Chains A and B, each alone.
Chain A
């Protein structure tokens, strides 16, 4: 390999990894909810979209300072996911899993329809004050927003890992995830932890929405990132926080490599194709993911 080839590979890897960390952050929202409540949230991408709209409107129309707009998006998403759990999902407790899935799919469709109905479908800018000067890492250079996104994602993973390993509430939440009945017998208010899990998913979605919306521009297409969540969590394991991180990185890098090396031959599109091919392969050989809990069910 010539040094130019190596440089190209490096650029693809760095770029893929930074995008992968964003996927991981958004997948984290999905994993937190699944881990604690067993609910599969098909509206994760729409959560992200909603947050990006909130931030873009607060900045553009409200004229708020950036930090206030971000905090507003976080507060809104906490409230939204909290309310969603309370109003829509709690009555479905104990119902078949498919009921929750359908409820979130319906919600997703409604949320995607909301912006065109209310404020129009045009793309809005969500400028964050991070400059335009690309950040150079050897032969690779990244847009600053991607660097910020990667840093935020890493910080969140560190924080959540600490929370679940060390904090009392985190340990209790793992207990709820492990066995709801027994957690109840320990005097743990299971519903409260469900609400907390959703609120945490809201926070993650809000940050993801601000970053992703800033990268792409804010319109309903922001929600498409929700589709990336599935290969990420299938790869990493639906209930594994570390798995979301590794899964995100793998998917980001695979996408980037596919786009860099295969697209020139097939004329494009492998970026969207490769993650799902990988997902199907994983499902065939390791259906519980790389780090997921292997559930053995007695029949």
Chain B
């Protein structure tokens, strides 16, 4: 992907649009969660979606990953319409995600959780793995290898055989990131990956996200409340408020945008900029 033109300099028109979200809306009963939001995600960059609670950030993410069908609008991945695809199909197309509330498979080990992330890449089905035992075995070893790389990358070596339920909060978030990475996604959707973390854990997580982006060229769509982190690592920021897009641009532009300041101050969230 594009090499480290990661600075917030907007002057990087070379980046292709990998995800094109056009005027999507989503209503639940009488409540409008997202209203005519448009957003383009440039390839190989980190784009953050910010906004007060209830702004529609997670709903937007759920539409991209196929959990919600937008009422109107469309979502295109490299030009292909994926609006009505199912979550499992979208995952197979290379869009992985993490969840706001940690959603690890709790009875399984760290390694098993990551191996499940390899699911989309596994070729042999039941019959095949029963009949061509050797081949399935070989495939298994290759997948295991990829997971070990991720475990090493996220510094989880000592925990691979541990049940995830027993892990500390910050580590579980890290395992969830690892599981998403095991899909080898082109696009990674992260829903508050640092929520509830202490400062040190946040810095670690920010480092991992930057590494994933720069070394693996993965495009990142990030929802995060910590403004410090968002402004530090994002190439672009989109601001939502009450389901609508109220601003967007580079971190610098967004921080100066009076509407954005208003939205945050208006909900007494100004402290979030700390």
Residues of A within 8 A of B (CB): 167-169, 171-172, 174-175, 178-179, 181-190, 196, 293
Contacts and interface: CB of A to CB of B under 8 A. Distances in A.
A171 B126 contact: no
Contacts of A172: 116, 119
B53 interface: no
Given A179-B103, A179-B105, A169 B86 contact: no
B183 A186 contact: yes
B99 interface: yes
Contact of A190 (B65, B66, B88): B88
B96 interface: yes
B103 A168 contact: no
B105 A182 contact: yes
27 contacts: A168-B129, A171-B108, A171-B116, A172-B119, A174-B107, A174-B108, A175-B116, A178-B107, A179-B105, A181-B67, A181-B99, A181-B103, A182-B99, A182-B105, A183-B116, A184-B66, A184-B67, A184-B86, A184-B88, A184-B91, A185-B97, A186-B91, A186-B116, A186-B117, A187-B88, A187-B183, A188-B88
Interface string B108-131: 100010011101101000100100
Contact of A186 (B67, B86, B126, B179): B179
A175 B88 CA distance: 14
Contacts of A184: 66-67, 86-88, 91
Contacts of B112: 171
A30 B91 CA distance: 31
Given A175-B116, A186-B179, A187-B92, 17 more contacts: A168-B129, A169-B129, A171-B108, A174-B108, A175-B108, A178-B107, A181-B87, A181-B99, A182-B103, A184-B66, A185-B67, A185-B87, A186-B88, A186-B116, A186-B183, A187-B91, A187-B120
B106 interface: yes
Contacts of A190: 88
A181 B116 CA distance: 13
Which 3 interchain pairs have the tightest Cβ spacing? A187-B91, A187-B120, A184-B87
Given A174-B108, A178-B106, A188 B116 contact: yes
Contacts of B87: 181, 184-185
Interface string B161-186: 00000000000000000010001000
Contacts of A178: 105-108
Nearest to A179: B103
A134 to B, nearest CB: 38
A179 B101 CA distance: 12
Nearest to B185: A187
Contacts of B179: 186
Interface of B: 65-67, 86-88, 91-92, 96-97, 99, 103-108, 112, 115-117, 119-120, 122, 126, 129, 140, 179, 183
Contacts of B104: 182
Contacts of B119: 172, 186-188
B110 to A, nearest CB: 13
B183 to A, nearest CB: 7
A192 to B, nearest CB: 9
A196 B97 CA distance: 26
B162 to A, nearest CB: 16
A185 B106 contact: no
Contacts of A185: 65, 67, 87, 91, 96-97, 99
B215 to A, nearest CB: 23
A287 B183 CA distance: 38
B243 to A, nearest CB: 22
A17 B87 CA distance: 46
Nearest to B124: A168
A168 B115 contact: yes
A185 B232 CA distance: 28
B150 to A, nearest CB: 14
B221 to A, nearest CB: 14
Nearest to B103: A182
A81 to B, nearest CB: 16
B108 A169 contact: no
A22 B96 CA distance: 44
Contacts of B86: 184
Nearest to B122: A168
Nearest to B67: A181
A114 to B, nearest CB: 31
Contacts of B108: 171, 174-175, 178
